[in-house]
Structure 1
Amino acid sequence: MAMHDPAQKYFNCTERDRAVFEAGIKLGTLYHQYVGVPLNLSNVDALERAMEGSLRVQPFVTDARVRIDRESIHKRQGVYKYITLYGEMLDVQVEVTYGSVRVRARLRYVEDMDYPLMYVEDVREG
């Protein structure tokens, strides 16, 4: 059982299940919160840091990394010199630790699926 988790009693699952669940929630939240935000090359660094910061303050997150594809910004800037963020531009890693389990999950565009996929990269126990 994870220490200091008042919600633990509501979860009928293992620490591993909960860690994976938490990682998925973090990626889904990030995706749906930020897709559509206006950006250009002048604010892309700040947006990456803000996204990382919003992940890091969530429960059980031990690390986060966000990269936005700058080439997409170059290609799509219109007459007003900005675009909106879309899922295919994101490469996100989040690490969640729950109890003795550490999960690394990822959101990135998978070209052969033509889809911004959220998936579990690694699970370590102990």
Structure 2
Amino acid sequence: MTDDVTPTDAETACFEAGIKFGSLYHQFAGTPISPASAGSLARAIEDSIENQPHCTAVTVDVREEELEEALAEASAEYTELTGRFLEVEIVVDYEGCEVVTRMEMEDGYPLMRLESVGGRE
């Protein structure tokens, strides 16, 4: 057993990815969204999160069918953004360790998970 408690670059990259998802989800949850604004909101989310350190790529796709279904039951022409309307991929590179993370619906819940960690020693 090692006494070294310093996080590895891969562990730090994973931590950074988690920070990006926490920021994305909690910064944008509740934002008004409609079919007309879905694309521009997705691009704004991508641009915002990509500003963060070590973030190399963000892809946000709005689940338009789910959005349309929610609006069919609403009294307004927009609804609040929640995780059920998004599919997201975030790529972080920290000191050569690339981490790919994803959020998508699983069993009715917007599950965030680690897809891969590359460049580990």
TM over 0.5: yes
Letter in 1 for 2:58: A
C-alpha distance in 1, partners of 2:29/2:78?
Answer: 14
1:23-68 CA-partner distances (Å, limit 9, x unpaired): 0110111001111111101100000000000111100011110011
Query: Paired residue for 1:98, among 94, 99, 111?
Result: 94
Runs of 4 or more off by more than 3 Å in structure 1?
A: none
Query: Paired residue for 2:82, among 82, 86, 102?
Result: 86
Letter in 2 for 1:65: T
Letter in 1 for 2:87: D
C-alpha distance in 2, partners of 1:80/1:91?
Answer: 24
Map of 2:41 onto structure 1: 47
TM-fit CA distance, 1:79: 2.5
TM-fit CA distance, 1:119: 0.8
For structure 2, the 5+ residue unaligned runs are: none
TM-fit CA distance, 1:91: 0.5
Aligned residues: 114
C-alpha distance in 2, partners of 1:101/1:19?
Answer: 7
C-alpha distance in 1, partners of 2:96/2:64?
Answer: 37
For structure 1, the 5+ residue unaligned runs are: 1-10
Map of 1:65 onto structure 2: 59
Amino-acid identity (%): 35
1:58-94 CA-partner distances (Å, limit 9, x unpaired): 0001111001111122112122211111111111000
Map of 1:118 onto structure 2: 112
Query: Paired residue for 2:105, among 87, 91, 109?
Result: 109
TM, length-normalised to structure 2: 0.89
